[in-house]
Structure 1
Amino acid sequence: MAQPPRNNLSIYDEVAEDWWSDDIRWVRTLKNMVPGRLGYFDRLVSWQGKAVLDLGCAGGFMAEAIEDRGAHVTGIDPAKDAIAAARSHAGARDITYDVGVGEALPYTDGQFDIVICVDVLEHVSDLTKVLKEVARVLVPGGTFLFDTINRNPVSRLATITVAEDILRLLPKGTHDPAMFIKPSELVEGLEQAGFAVGKLTGLGPVGLTLRGDLKFGRLPLKAVIYMGSATKAAR
């Protein structure tokens, strides 16, 4: 039997019509990760009144949560059907959605106070270009918030063998473990793009919902998923 392609980004368009339905377990998993991420990011930034770019927004879970905190949000993603679902669900919210990629952001220099990028960096075709583009569209002193997956045998076991193959928390082929990013590599790339990098921390399962889905929160270990912040130089 042929193996599914790795880093298969078509999955986001394939489920776009049901993105907000709560009927698809792996999509619910992505939704359930939002509070855990924001529980940490809320400590690092004030969202109220800020211009925020959600880079790799998919169907809009994070974008809507940030808009709830008073931000002016722009979301961008290459999955055009997922973007259509995000636009439809947003209604009159203060969110603008665009189709595009992180390697060539269609925005002016210094347009955003904050860029948030979760579950994305391990999927991009050119990490260096993405980080440079993030720096370009941020104001001087602006903040980049991110998470991604570490590259090591433990993360491969957790995300591929367990999450994709055994528990089916993600569709097979969602990730390519060769594209996972060691923290030292990401820190180096961020520094080369002009960022000062803050402390990194882990993100992972911390319990179960009443439906039996995983709940996520901050963890001390960074072996699988890690998250953090970086600040663009003020000048």
Structure 2
Amino acid sequence: MKLKTKPNKSQTSSIDTEEIAKFNQLAKQWWDPEGPLKTLHDINPCRLAFIEQYMALAGSSVLDVGSGGGILAEAMSKKGALVSGLDADPDIIAIAHQHASSQSLAIHYTCLGIEDFSGESFQAITCMEMLEHVAKPEAIIQHCAQLLKPSGYLFLSTINRTLKAYLTAVIGAEYVLKLLPKQTHDYQRFIKPSELATMVRQADLELIDLKGMDYNPFTRAASLQESVSVNYLMVCYKP
């Protein structure tokens, strides 16, 4: 396993330092399935199942953008994928590296913004629960497209900008049920599926499928659904 840390030199970075600082405070609790990021643990099987509908992970090269502590990266690695993780926070990358080492998983983590990551291409790229936390999501999509191999897949997930999403993902999740720390989300940064689809097409990618993701906070189970009114996933293809 390799851990690389480099300074962010991009002058057009999509990185939001306030968002980085917010999640940095949670770094040591990333792998606590009952901690402040427990919903990430709960929805991970659903995210993984969505990915596996479109590709076989075993032997495939995958870049997880905004990999955080490595919850999705490790799940894909355990399925046989050749996983690289990319995150801009050195403390969170260190947690990811330590946890992967404890599981004997060969995941290559790099502490870098995607704008400054180059030299490799991948059969698939995942960017989950991350776009609503960056300053320029369209730039993230463009860079992901550049790093994809032809016939590769880009998997995205984010939150729709609807009243229901505000009531569910902000008021309900953060203030009523306390599933997430307060101010985890900024409603103004939520992204409508039509807006994300435009970003994808501007990056010369084809939108293959769009699914909603339902989360039951009482059973702590997530499942795919047709409604995209709150959380949703998108898969795109590079011709």
TM-score (structure 2 length as normaliser):
0.87
Residue from 189, 203, 224 that aligns with 2:230:
224
8 Å Cα contact 2:64/2:126 also seen in 1: yes
- CA drift at 1:18: 2.6
Contact 1:55 1:77 in 2 (8 A): yes
Partner of 1:165: 175
CA distance in 1 between partners of 2:94 and 2:46 (Å): 26
Partner of 2:29: 18
Cα distance change, pair 105–204 in 1 and its aligned pair in 2 (3 A)? farther
Please list the CA deviations of residues 4-32 of structure 1 after superposition, one character each: whole Å capped at 9, or x if unmatched. xxx744232212223223341x3121111
Q: CA RMSD in A?
A: 1.5
Distance in 1, matches of 2:76 and 2:116, equals 20
C-alpha spacing 1:105/1:198, structure 2 compared with 1 (3 Å): farther
Cα distance in 2 for partners of 1:75, 1:157 equals 32
The one-character-per-residue Cα deviations of 1:19-72 (angstroms, maximum 9, x if unpaired) are 223341x31211111001112221111111111000111100000000011111
CA shift for structure 1 position 130: 0.8
Query: Is the Cα–Cα contact under 8 Å of residues 42 and 221 in structure 2 kept in the other structure?
Result: yes
Asked if 1:95 is matched to 2:107, the reply is yes
Distance 1:204 1:81 in 2: 31
Q: CA deviation at 1:198?
A: 1.1
Gaps of 5+ in 1: 1-6
One-letter code of the match for 1:21? D
Q: Which amino acid aligns with 1:13?
A: N
Q: Which amino acid aligns with 1:232?
A: K
Which 4+ residue blocks in structure 1 deviate beyond 4 angstroms? 206-209
Equivalent positions of 1:196-211 (< 5 A) are: 196-206=206-216, 208-209=218-219
Q: Displacement, 1:190?
A: 0.3
Partner Cα separation in structure 2 for residue 88 and residue 53 of structure 1: 18
State the percentage of identical aligned residues. 32
Q: Aligned pair 1:84/2:94, yes or no?
A: yes
Deviation at 1:101, TM superposition (A): 2.1
CA distance in 2, matches of 1:113, 1:105: 19
Q: 2:146 aligns with which of 136, 149, 164?
A: 136
Q: How many residues align?
A: 220
Letter in 1 for 2:187: P
If the length of structure 1 is used for normalisation, what is the TM-score?
0.89
Indicate conservation of the 8 Å contact 2:19/2:134, yes or no: no
Unpaired runs of at least 5, structure 2:
1-17
Q: SS of the counterpart of 2:209?
A: coil
Conservation of the 8 A alpha-carbon contact between 2:90 and 2:111:
yes
Deviation of 1:207 (Å): 6.7
Give the aligned partner of residue 4 of structure 1.
none
Superposition pairs for residues 106-121 of structure 1, below 5 Å? 106-108=117-119, 111-121=121-131
